[in-house]
Structure 1
Protein backbone atom coordinates (compact mmCIF):
# COMPACT_ATOMS: atom_id res chain seq x y z
CA UNK A 1 0.00 0.00 0.00
CA UNK A 2 1.42 3.38 -0.95
CA UNK A 3 1.45 6.31 1.43
CA UNK A 4 -0.70 9.29 0.45
CA UNK A 5 1.39 12.10 -0.95
CA UNK A 6 1.73 15.57 0.51
CA UNK A 7 2.67 18.49 -1.68
CA UNK A 8 3.86 21.71 -0.06
CA UNK A 9 3.79 25.18 -1.57
CA UNK A 10 3.87 28.83 -0.62
CA UNK A 11 1.54 31.07 -2.57
CA UNK A 12 1.96 34.84 -2.32
CA UNK A 13 -0.65 37.14 -3.85
CA UNK A 14 -0.58 40.94 -3.76
CA UNK A 15 -3.22 43.54 -4.54
CA UNK A 16 -3.52 47.29 -4.07
CA UNK A 17 -6.99 48.57 -3.24
CA UNK A 18 -8.25 52.15 -3.53
CA UNK A 19 -9.47 52.01 0.06
CA UNK A 20 -8.09 52.62 3.53
CA UNK A 21 -6.75 49.72 5.63
CA UNK A 22 -9.82 50.18 7.88
CA UNK A 23 -12.22 49.60 4.94
CA UNK A 24 -10.25 46.61 3.66
CA UNK A 25 -10.05 45.10 7.15
CA UNK A 26 -13.80 45.54 7.63
CA UNK A 27 -14.50 43.69 4.36
CA UNK A 28 -12.20 40.87 5.55
CA UNK A 29 -13.84 40.70 8.99
CA UNK A 30 -17.52 40.83 8.00
CA UNK A 31 -18.89 37.33 7.17
CA UNK A 32 -21.66 38.75 4.97
CA UNK A 33 -19.10 40.69 2.92
CA UNK A 34 -16.84 37.60 2.74
CA UNK A 35 -19.74 35.52 1.43
CA UNK A 36 -20.19 38.10 -1.37
CA UNK A 37 -16.57 38.53 -2.46
CA UNK A 38 -15.30 35.07 -1.49
CA UNK A 39 -17.03 33.14 -4.28
CA UNK A 40 -15.02 32.38 -7.39
CA UNK A 41 -17.84 33.01 -9.85
CA UNK A 42 -21.61 33.14 -10.21
CA UNK A 43 -21.51 29.33 -10.60
CA UNK A 44 -20.12 28.81 -7.09
CA UNK A 45 -21.93 29.01 -3.75
CA UNK A 46 -20.39 29.90 -0.38
CA UNK A 47 -22.33 29.60 2.89
CA UNK A 48 -21.06 30.38 6.39
CA UNK A 49 -22.51 28.02 9.01
CA UNK A 50 -20.44 29.61 11.78
CA UNK A 51 -18.47 32.87 11.83
CA UNK A 52 -16.33 33.88 14.82
CA UNK A 53 -13.89 36.53 13.62
CA UNK A 54 -11.76 36.84 16.76
CA UNK A 55 -8.50 35.37 18.01
CA UNK A 56 -9.28 31.72 18.74
CA UNK A 57 -12.52 31.97 16.77
CA UNK A 58 -13.67 29.40 14.22
CA UNK A 59 -15.41 29.93 10.89
CA UNK A 60 -17.09 26.95 9.26
CA UNK A 61 -18.19 27.34 5.68
CA UNK A 62 -19.33 25.17 2.82
CA UNK A 63 -18.70 25.84 -0.84
CA UNK A 64 -18.84 24.23 -4.22
CA UNK A 65 -20.61 24.36 -7.55
CA UNK A 66 -24.01 26.07 -7.35
CA UNK A 67 -26.43 23.71 -5.60
CA UNK A 68 -23.69 21.29 -4.49
CA UNK A 69 -21.81 22.48 -1.39
CA UNK A 70 -19.36 19.56 -1.37
CA UNK A 71 -16.41 21.26 0.34
CA UNK A 72 -16.17 22.12 4.04
CA UNK A 73 -13.70 24.79 5.15
CA UNK A 74 -12.68 25.33 8.78
CA UNK A 75 -10.80 28.56 9.47
CA UNK A 76 -9.26 29.12 12.91
CA UNK A 77 -8.05 32.65 13.70
CA UNK A 78 -4.61 32.64 15.34
CA UNK A 79 -3.73 36.35 15.34
CA UNK A 80 -5.69 39.48 14.44
CA UNK A 81 -4.23 42.98 14.47
CA UNK A 82 -6.99 45.32 13.24
CA UNK A 83 -6.12 47.11 10.00
CA UNK A 84 -2.71 45.34 9.90
CA UNK A 85 -2.73 41.54 9.95
CA UNK A 86 -4.84 38.38 10.07
CA UNK A 87 -3.23 34.97 10.60
CA UNK A 88 -5.36 31.85 10.36
CA UNK A 89 -5.25 28.16 9.64
CA UNK A 90 -7.54 26.62 7.06
CA UNK A 91 -8.58 22.98 6.67
CA UNK A 92 -10.40 22.03 3.45
CA UNK A 93 -12.32 18.73 3.32
CA UNK A 94 -14.59 16.91 0.92
CA UNK A 95 -16.72 14.69 3.13
CA UNK A 96 -14.29 12.96 5.49
CA UNK A 97 -11.42 13.36 3.01
CA UNK A 98 -8.95 16.08 4.05
CA UNK A 99 -7.76 17.90 0.91
CA UNK A 100 -5.42 20.53 2.33
CA UNK A 101 -4.34 22.47 5.38
CA UNK A 102 -2.85 25.97 5.26
CA UNK A 103 -1.32 28.70 7.34
CA UNK A 104 -2.64 31.93 5.84
CA UNK A 105 -1.31 35.40 6.60
CA UNK A 106 -3.00 38.54 5.29
CA UNK A 107 -1.02 41.75 5.73
CA UNK A 108 -2.43 45.24 5.15
CA UNK A 109 -0.09 48.14 4.50
CA UNK A 110 -1.16 51.76 3.89
CA UNK A 111 0.13 53.22 0.62
CA UNK A 112 -1.00 56.85 0.50
CA UNK A 113 -4.80 56.66 0.53
CA UNK A 114 -4.73 53.04 -0.72
CA UNK A 115 -3.96 49.68 0.88
CA UNK A 116 -1.49 47.04 -0.23
CA UNK A 117 -2.71 43.56 0.71
CA UNK A 118 -0.28 40.64 0.75
CA UNK A 119 -1.76 37.16 1.21
CA UNK A 120 0.65 34.31 1.95
CA UNK A 121 -0.77 30.77 1.86
CA UNK A 122 1.61 28.07 3.15
CA UNK A 123 -0.27 24.98 2.03
CA UNK A 124 0.11 21.24 2.48
CA UNK A 125 -2.06 19.50 -0.12
CA UNK A 126 -2.86 15.82 0.30
CA UNK A 127 -2.85 13.72 -2.83
CA UNK A 128 -1.64 16.08 -5.51
CA UNK A 129 -0.95 19.53 -6.89
CA UNK A 130 -4.55 20.23 -7.95
CA UNK A 131 -5.39 21.68 -4.53
CA UNK A 132 -2.45 24.06 -4.75
CA UNK A 133 -3.54 25.32 -8.16
CA UNK A 134 -7.12 25.53 -6.88
CA UNK A 135 -6.08 27.47 -3.80
CA UNK A 136 -4.08 29.94 -5.87
CA UNK A 137 -6.91 30.42 -8.37
CA UNK A 138 -9.51 30.67 -5.60
CA UNK A 139 -7.66 33.24 -3.55
CA UNK A 140 -6.78 35.18 -6.71
CA UNK A 141 -10.43 35.35 -7.79
CA UNK A 142 -11.57 36.25 -4.26
CA UNK A 143 -9.05 39.09 -4.00
CA UNK A 144 -10.18 40.40 -7.40
CA UNK A 145 -13.79 40.23 -6.17
CA UNK A 146 -12.74 42.12 -3.03
CA UNK A 147 -11.78 45.08 -5.25
CA UNK A 148 -15.35 45.11 -6.62
CA UNK A 149 -16.77 44.84 -3.08
CA UNK A 150 -14.71 47.83 -1.95
CA UNK A 151 -15.82 49.92 -4.95
CA UNK A 152 -19.48 49.29 -4.01
CA UNK A 153 -18.96 49.88 -0.29
CA UNK A 154 -19.69 53.41 0.99
CA UNK A 155 -16.52 55.44 1.59
CA UNK A 156 -17.34 55.91 5.30
CA UNK A 157 -17.96 52.19 5.86
Structure 2
Protein backbone atom coordinates (compact mmCIF):
# COMPACT_ATOMS: atom_id res chain seq x y z
CA UNK A 1 0.00 0.00 0.00
CA UNK A 2 1.38 3.41 -0.94
CA UNK A 3 0.83 5.82 1.92
CA UNK A 4 -0.74 9.23 1.17
CA UNK A 5 2.42 11.12 2.12
CA UNK A 6 4.28 9.17 -0.59
CA UNK A 7 1.85 10.21 -3.37
CA UNK A 8 2.10 13.35 -5.48
CA UNK A 9 -0.66 15.85 -4.71
CA UNK A 10 -2.14 15.26 -8.17
CA UNK A 11 -2.88 11.61 -7.19
CA UNK A 12 -4.67 12.50 -3.95
CA UNK A 13 -8.45 12.25 -4.11
CA UNK A 14 -11.64 11.61 -2.19
CA UNK A 15 -14.36 9.12 -3.08
CA UNK A 16 -17.85 9.30 -1.53
CA UNK A 17 -20.52 6.64 -1.32
CA UNK A 18 -23.64 5.51 0.48
CA UNK A 19 -24.79 1.93 0.83
CA UNK A 20 -27.43 -0.02 2.76
CA UNK A 21 -27.34 -3.61 4.01
CA UNK A 22 -30.08 -5.68 5.64
CA UNK A 23 -29.72 -8.83 7.71
CA UNK A 24 -32.39 -10.91 9.48
CA UNK A 25 -31.64 -12.58 12.82
CA UNK A 26 -33.64 -15.29 14.59
CA UNK A 27 -33.34 -13.40 17.87
CA UNK A 28 -35.32 -10.71 19.66
CA UNK A 29 -34.46 -7.05 19.07
CA UNK A 30 -33.13 -6.67 22.63
CA UNK A 31 -30.55 -9.42 22.10
CA UNK A 32 -29.38 -7.98 18.77
CA UNK A 33 -29.08 -4.54 20.40
CA UNK A 34 -26.97 -6.10 23.19
CA UNK A 35 -24.57 -7.49 20.56
CA UNK A 36 -23.55 -3.84 20.03
CA UNK A 37 -23.93 -2.57 23.61
CA UNK A 38 -22.26 -5.34 25.66
CA UNK A 39 -18.44 -5.39 25.33
CA UNK A 40 -18.18 -9.17 25.86
CA UNK A 41 -20.82 -9.89 23.20
CA UNK A 42 -19.35 -7.36 20.76
CA UNK A 43 -15.85 -8.80 21.04
CA UNK A 44 -17.19 -12.17 19.84
CA UNK A 45 -18.10 -10.76 16.44
CA UNK A 46 -16.25 -7.43 16.04
CA UNK A 47 -12.67 -8.45 16.82
CA UNK A 48 -10.86 -9.38 13.63
CA UNK A 49 -10.55 -12.91 12.23
CA UNK A 50 -7.43 -15.09 12.41
CA UNK A 51 -4.58 -14.22 12.12
CA UNK A 52 -5.68 -10.80 13.45
CA UNK A 53 -4.47 -10.11 17.02
CA UNK A 54 -6.06 -7.53 19.31
CA UNK A 55 -3.84 -4.64 20.44
CA UNK A 56 -6.43 -2.29 21.98
CA UNK A 57 -10.17 -2.44 22.58
CA UNK A 58 -12.46 -0.05 24.43
CA UNK A 59 -16.23 0.39 24.29
CA UNK A 60 -18.07 3.28 25.98
CA UNK A 61 -21.54 2.59 24.59
CA UNK A 62 -23.42 5.82 25.31
CA UNK A 63 -24.16 8.99 23.38
CA UNK A 64 -20.84 10.82 23.16
CA UNK A 65 -19.02 7.60 24.04
CA UNK A 66 -16.04 6.33 22.12
CA UNK A 67 -15.03 2.95 20.76
CA UNK A 68 -11.57 1.77 19.73
CA UNK A 69 -10.66 -1.54 18.15
CA UNK A 70 -7.08 -1.99 16.99
CA UNK A 71 -5.26 -5.13 15.93
CA UNK A 72 -2.46 -6.57 13.85
CA UNK A 73 -2.80 -9.08 11.02
CA UNK A 74 -0.23 -11.70 12.01
CA UNK A 75 3.02 -11.14 13.89
CA UNK A 76 4.51 -8.77 11.27
CA UNK A 77 1.32 -7.66 9.50
CA UNK A 78 -0.57 -4.43 9.05
CA UNK A 79 -2.22 -2.72 12.03
CA UNK A 80 -5.88 -1.74 11.53
CA UNK A 81 -7.66 0.74 13.81
CA UNK A 82 -11.38 1.53 14.15
CA UNK A 83 -11.95 4.75 16.11
CA UNK A 84 -15.63 5.64 16.60
CA UNK A 85 -17.97 8.04 18.40
CA UNK A 86 -21.63 7.32 19.25
CA UNK A 87 -24.00 10.16 18.37
CA UNK A 88 -27.43 8.66 19.11
CA UNK A 89 -28.48 5.49 20.87
CA UNK A 90 -32.15 4.62 21.27
CA UNK A 91 -32.31 1.31 23.11
CA UNK A 92 -33.62 -1.58 21.01
CA UNK A 93 -34.33 0.79 18.09
CA UNK A 94 -31.31 2.54 16.57
CA UNK A 95 -27.63 3.37 16.85
CA UNK A 96 -25.90 6.22 15.00
CA UNK A 97 -22.12 6.56 15.06
CA UNK A 98 -19.22 7.91 13.05
CA UNK A 99 -15.86 6.23 12.70
CA UNK A 100 -12.45 6.53 11.17
CA UNK A 101 -10.50 3.57 9.79
CA UNK A 102 -6.70 3.54 9.66
CA UNK A 103 -4.13 0.99 8.53
CA UNK A 104 -0.57 1.44 9.78
CA UNK A 105 -1.53 4.98 10.74
CA UNK A 106 -2.80 5.99 7.29
CA UNK A 107 -6.42 7.18 7.29
CA UNK A 108 -8.47 5.04 4.89
CA UNK A 109 -11.92 6.48 5.50
CA UNK A 110 -14.37 8.38 7.67
CA UNK A 111 -17.97 7.14 7.81
CA UNK A 112 -21.34 7.91 9.33
CA UNK A 113 -23.35 4.77 10.09
CA UNK A 114 -26.89 4.18 11.27
CA UNK A 115 -28.30 0.87 12.44
CA UNK A 116 -32.06 0.39 12.72
CA UNK A 117 -33.54 -2.67 14.44
CA UNK A 118 -37.06 -3.73 13.48
CA UNK A 119 -38.97 -6.62 15.07
CA UNK A 120 -40.18 -9.28 12.63
CA UNK A 121 -42.21 -12.48 13.03
CA UNK A 122 -38.95 -14.46 12.94
CA UNK A 123 -36.90 -12.11 15.15
CA UNK A 124 -35.13 -8.92 14.06
CA UNK A 125 -34.30 -7.11 10.83
CA UNK A 126 -31.15 -5.01 11.06
CA UNK A 127 -30.78 -2.24 8.47
CA UNK A 128 -27.36 -0.62 8.26
CA UNK A 129 -26.83 2.54 6.21
CA UNK A 130 -23.34 3.94 5.78
CA UNK A 131 -22.17 7.17 4.19
CA UNK A 132 -18.42 7.19 3.69
CA UNK A 133 -15.57 9.20 2.33
CA UNK A 134 -12.55 7.18 1.22
CA UNK A 135 -9.11 8.76 0.95
CA UNK A 136 -6.61 8.40 -1.91
CA UNK A 137 -7.88 5.01 -3.15
CA UNK A 138 -6.70 3.34 0.07
CA UNK A 139 -10.18 1.84 0.56
CA UNK A 140 -13.33 1.66 -1.53
CA UNK A 141 -17.04 1.06 -1.34
CA UNK A 142 -16.88 -2.56 -2.50
CA UNK A 143 -14.32 -3.50 0.17
CA UNK A 144 -16.33 -1.74 2.87
CA UNK A 145 -19.60 -3.40 1.82
CA UNK A 146 -17.92 -6.80 1.92
CA UNK A 147 -16.37 -6.09 5.32
CA UNK A 148 -19.66 -4.88 6.78
CA UNK A 149 -21.56 -7.83 5.29
CA UNK A 150 -19.06 -10.22 6.91
CA UNK A 151 -19.39 -8.42 10.27
CA UNK A 152 -23.20 -8.66 10.15
CA UNK A 153 -22.90 -12.40 9.45
CA UNK A 154 -20.67 -12.84 12.50
CA UNK A 155 -23.41 -11.42 14.75
CA UNK A 156 -25.74 -14.37 13.99
CA UNK A 157 -23.97 -17.05 16.06
CA UNK A 158 -23.68 -14.61 18.97
CA UNK A 159 -27.43 -13.80 19.13
CA UNK A 160 -29.20 -16.84 17.67
Question: Which TM-score band (shorter chain)?
Answer: 0.7 to 0.9
Q: State the alpha-carbon separation in 2 of the partners of residues 117 and 30 from structure 1.
A: 17
Of residues 68, 76, 79, the one that matches 2:85 is: 76
Which secondary structure state, in structure 2, belongs to the residue aligned with residue 83 of structure 1? coil
Which blocks of at least 5 consecutive residues in structure 1 are unaligned?
Answer: 152-157
Q: Does 1:102 align with 2:120?
A: no
Give the Cα–Cα distance (whole angstroms) in 1 for the partners of residues 128 and 110 of structure 2: 15
Distance 1:66 1:101 in 2: 25
Q: Is the Cα contact below 8 Å between 1:49 and 1:60 reproduced in 2? A: yes
Cα pair 1:37 1:142 within 8 Å, conserved = yes
| CA-CA distance at 1:39 after TM superposition | 4.2
Q: Deviations over 1:54-73 (max 9, x none)?
A: 00000111034244460111
| CA–CA distance in structure 2, aligned partners of residues 130 and 34 of structure 1 | 24
CA RMSD for the aligned pairs? 1.9
What SS does the corresponding residue of 1:130 show, helix, strand or coil? coil
Deviation at 1:130, TM superposition (A): 3.4
| Partner of residue 124, structure 1 | 133
Once residues 71 and 95 of structure 2 are traced to their aligned partners in structure 1, the CA distance between those partners, rounded to angstroms, is 22
CA distance in 2: counterparts of 1:46 and 1:69, whole angstroms:
12
Equivalence for 1:32 = 40
Structure 1 consecutive aligned stretches of length 4 or more whose deviation exceeds 6 Å: none
What is the CA–CA distance in structure 2 between the aligned matches of 1:46 and 1:134, rounded to whole Å? Answer: 21
Alignment check: 8 A CA contact 2:84 2:97 kept = yes
Q: What is the alpha-carbon distance in structure 2 between the residues aligned to residue 18 and residue 131 of structure 1?
A: 31
Task: Count residues in correspondence.
Answer: 151
| 1:39-87 deviation digits (Å, cap 9, x = unpaired) | 4533334554321000000011103424446011111000000000000
Gaps of 5+ in 2: 1-8
Q: Tell me, in whole angstroms, the C-alpha distance in 2 between the residues paired with 1:32 and 1:47.
A: 16
Question: Do the aligned residues in 2 keep the contact of 1:74 with 1:91 (CA within 8 Å)?
Answer: yes
In 1: Cα distance, 2:105 partner to 2:55 partner: 19
